[in-house]
Amino acid sequence: MGHFPNLPPPDLCHVRTCDRKRCYSGLEMMSQPIQPKLIIHGGAGSSLSGKGSVEIVRQSLHRVIEDVYELLQNGASAPDAVVRGCQLLEDDPLFNAGTGSVLQSDGQIRMSASLMDGTSLRFSGVINVSRVQNPIDLAKKLQPEQDRVLSDFGATEFAREIGVPIYDPKTEKRLKEWWYEHTDNFHRKMADVVAEPAGRGTIGVVALDAEGRIAAGTSTGGKGFERIGRVSDSAMPAGNYANDRSGVSCTGIGEDIIEECLAAKIVVRVTDGMSLVQAMERSFAEAESHNRDFGAISLDATGSIVWGKTSDVILAAFHNGDRIGDSLEAEKGTKVVRC
């Protein structure tokens, strides 16, 4: 798949110019300090209706980008920056992760999150954990453990063992949404997970630090109204993966992401010699032909930042060392954009 007809030029990204150092890549990186890179997302979905919603989401995403990019500039490691970014997005009730997570069919919140350190190649995470503020913290604490992915009861027991306080992430908006759907016998397939109807929410962060290390983190409240025991892609290598060449975080319909093995597939393609943009183009062309509904954010060790989607919107924002930009006003339909 050499040609990708819908690929818009990078300038279609919404761009805010910042007075930052320029980027370095390739051989330059060996003699120059590495310019940190950062991309985050707050989900993907069917619409972001109205300028009001766009601006609300933009403000939230850009605030996180500013905070976390500053950490990277001050020498934070990629895993630490990713964890901080995920915490901030989990704490923002606008997004479907941590506080503001959607309720499952039985009215309970069960969250999933994972962290992949691309340098150590360690993947850790929690699946369907309840009553904690930041599931990404558990993923971080599990990094050095022998048993690194824990589900429901085991994840909760681990949280209590390490002294994580009990926290109810439920918001009034999510409760009302669930109650409305409950009285309508759950006719809707998924919850609305941003300010306006737009399902398939998740949050994610991918960072390249000043020492060239890459990490990826992803966290979600799930699809909303799902069966008890349904497992999300967010704590699987299909939804969140990184190595020393590239890192990817996915959002969208978990089942679609799992069946494409999306994050791991993109990272393996880069490892085997494709450029990041080629790997994203190939993977999204395949996804479109399979009628998938999702998005992904990615970056690589040369400093490339790329987002892609088959869904109408992906709520992504980035800092490429020169400027902050986002994907919020990109056209509907399948797109792969290098930022």
Q: Which residues bind ligand GLY (CB under 6 A)?
A: 202, 220, 222-223, 232-234, 251-254
| Catalytic, out of 17, 156, 171, 202 | 202
Which of 312, 267, 281, 272 lies closest to 294 in space, CA to CA? 312
CB closer to ligand GLY out of 90 and 209: 90
**Residue showing tokens 């949050």:** 203
Is residue 202 part of the annotated active site? The answer reads: yes
Residue nearest to ligand GLY (CB): 254
CB closer to ligand GLY out of 93 and 212: 93
What's the min distance (Å) between Cβ of 221 and ligand GLY? 8
Which of 282, 287, 300 lies closest to 241 in space, CA to CA? 300
**Residue showing tokens 């994972």:** 114
CB closer to ligand GLY out of 203 and 277: 203
CB closer to ligand GLY out of 85 and 254: 254
Task: Write the CA distances from 275 to 35, 98, 135, 141, 299, integer angstroms.
Answer: 19, 34, 32, 33, 10
**Contact 158/150 with Cβ under 8 angstroms?**
yes
What's the min distance (Å) between Cβ of 250 and ligand GLY? 7
What's the min distance (Å) between Cβ of 336 and ligand GLY? 19
What's the min distance (Å) between Cβ of 252 and ligand GLY? 6
**Contact 64/318 with Cβ under 8 angstroms?**
no
Which of 322, 337, 332, 335 lies closest to 38 in space, CA to CA? 322
Catalytic residues: 202
